[in-house]
Structure 1
Amino acid sequence: MMELQKLKLDKFTTYNGYNMPEDFHVPLTQSDNPQVFFVFLHSFEELNRYTNMIRNNQTHKDNRIFYIYRRGQKSFHRDHIAAFARRAPFLKRKAPMLCRLDDTYSCFTFMVNL
């Protein structure tokens, strides 16, 4: 079971997600106008595509993106996400910047500046 309390979700009420597994349950209300986005990533192409979708469609100031990736992958891992974020001036690191959710997944947290 993922330790979602590490993500400090208590100040948010709505979410939307991309590539979410069926057994991933968020203690927020799903919405087309979310404050928080959960994105399960497997490739750099997905990172770029979903980030652009979120950036172009966000309506809340300071949306949060939780990039969740599978630990131990050689083809796509935390260094890819970190390098992408360093080159994206609209992404700002937020606490908890990087955390382990369980034995399988870790998560980066960013704020999207409007």
Structure 2
Amino acid sequence: MTNDDLTESDRAELEILAQLCSPEAVAAFELMCGSVRVETAPRFVDLLRTVNALSGPGFAEKASAELLEVVASTGEVELMAHHSVGLDDPIGALALAQLIRTIADNRPTLGEAFGL
């Protein structure tokens, strides 16, 4: 079997499984795997890469620092405040950081259609 024999879904699944190399990444997978679709798989792989990079001792603190760094660099304080209510887990913080970064990078395209 070659890569050409794989479906888009198979390739997405393999990319995700390749990132499950830390307990934190496995926890993120368990938390979010039900909502991952082929079209969102690349973003999920990016999230798992970030989780792996920050995994280990102090993971929660590193995740919080990552979220704060993204907010500081994008200026999206209001967006963070709106979506972080009750957010107390590091995986959620990293997912929110990724969402904020994506919105900030695509704000001109998204515009008023999404109330931004």
Whether these two folds match at TM > 0.5 is no
Relative contact order: is structure 1 or structure 2 higher (C-alpha 8 Å, sep ≥ 6)? Answer: 1
Greater radius of gyration (CA): 2
| More helix as a share of residues | 2
The structure with the largest strand share of the pair is 1
TM-score for both structures, normalised by structure 2: 0.35
